[in-house]
Structure 1
Amino acid sequence: MKKLVLALTGTVVLAAAAVTYTVSARPDAAEAVPAAQLTLAHGQLLYRNVSTGRIASVPLTDPGAKPKLSGLKCDRFAVAKQTAVCLAARPGTLPVETDVLVLDDHLNVRHTETLPGTPSRARVSPDGKLVYWTVFVTGDSYAATGFSTRAGVYEVDTGSLVKTIEELPVLVDGSRYFAPDVNYWGITFAADGNRFYATLGSKGKTYLVEGDYAHFHGKALRENVECPSLSPDGTRVAFKKKVGDGVWRLSVLDLATMRETELAERRSVDDQALWQDDHTVLYGLDNAVWAVPADGSGAPRRLAGDAATPAVTG
């Protein structure tokens, strides 16, 4: 079986924020709004409507339009091609459990897994054949903060599932890296479904790792990179760079030159960014979805309010 992976060592601030988000951001407001039948048709901005927890849709050309709300409730959501993934914390369960829902192009459930932990990240590979996620968990002896993560991968075509993978061999400075607190998170795949990037966290440092899915190995490219997101053309990575305790700056890294560009968003962004196209990066911040140019120019632009965890259909 192919193996790949990611597990994340979170800080108290990050992990606590994730728990608070999941537990508190699922109110029942506006439940009287009829549910729309959403699809993954081209040209949509999909996101989590914060007030209801339901997945909403607006046209990319008119993101400020009144959203259509589906009946699907998620804490994290992602799409690519004709596949979507929804992470939904089970209410009332302690410790928290998360349902991982693999969805088709009409947001019908194709497959479900229930895992221990709190939703953190979710993505679908560009070809729509892999879904992957990260959840916060507690109890690992090496986690000084009391928090760590589990990350999993599901192969849509084969049904192959790895609930948690913590065995990715990685070279750091040319040598195989070993440490009891190694975790990986924030995976992002290239269009070939094989090359991927992820964050390795260990001993208070984070590294950008480039990996080979088929051969299951990777190498660290540079430090201080979290939650990478590969551009559609496969040449750049948007990521959050730690600049202080609990403070991250949204940046873009050119993979050929390793040149880093800070984006015009100067507020702290604790999110895995999403590329709308090769020129624009989307992210969630302060219960809204924002867009900013990927070249460092311009200014942040608010696309939709009462919104989080954006996804774009192409």
Structure 2
Amino acid sequence: MLLTIISLVTLFFVIGPSSAQTAVTSTVFNSIVRYTAFSSAAYGDTCANPPSGSSVVQYFNDNPTDTQATLFRDDSAREVIIAFRGTSSPKDLDTDLDFLLVPLSATGTKCASCNVHQGFQEAYLSIASSVVSAIQSQLSSHSGYTLTVTGHSLGAGIAAIGTSSLIGQGLAVSNTYTFGEPRNGDANWATYIESQISNSNYYRVTHANDGVPQIPPTVLNYVHHGTEYWESGNSTNSASTTYNCGTDSTTCNAGQDPGEDPINGSHLTYSNTVIGSSLFIPACGAVFPS
């Protein structure tokens, strides 16, 4: 009898999490592909052919930290998109490594017990005023347009804090899509941001064995927030290979071995395209030579 109980418990933990993984719809996957492109385009100092027929409203760059972002407007979708750039320079790497947990202080946020990644918060604050002003201007002059926040890698960590800050300042964030988002705060922070934006509107996309979502480690009191959407294949992903894994799965990306370097091939490609390059950006119209 005892062996039977042990077997059933083991079966639950082996099969249970896997059965909880649900393949996404084509609509969700197409949206993930769409914002992969905007996150990729943010790596360019300029973007000659912005994604989805959109236009660039403004580029943002803080020289001391080298924090960058791009504000796009898609008139056909009636949408404004702010995309934060990922790691692309030694200064960005300094930001990544500045992982001390410090009190949340971004403008508009109100959580005295929340602690977040110091580097990500300082990076966001370095361009926050200009970003907020530009978004406010666009939304006031384009009635009925929605606001989406996105970013990859470092840009995803900044996008998380930016989402909270923008909402706290009265700017309605319709959706946030992040790619390869590292952990960026403690449990109180996770609870707070999930109270600001529903998990159904926060898409934390991971890919195969991308190691960046697995850092900073939980031993440093970092946790994830937002629903994970895992592109499980190394390449040629589709709706059928992309799973809704819930908010803190241990069997999707977190269950994969990233190898010695968290910034691996899976981190640099999402939705079957290059995302982490400032030299070759398909999302801005770059094509491989034939």
What is the TM-score when the length of structure 1 is the normalising length? Answer: 0.30
Whichever structure has more helix as a proportion of its residues is 2
Higher relative contact order (CA 8 A, sep 6+): 2
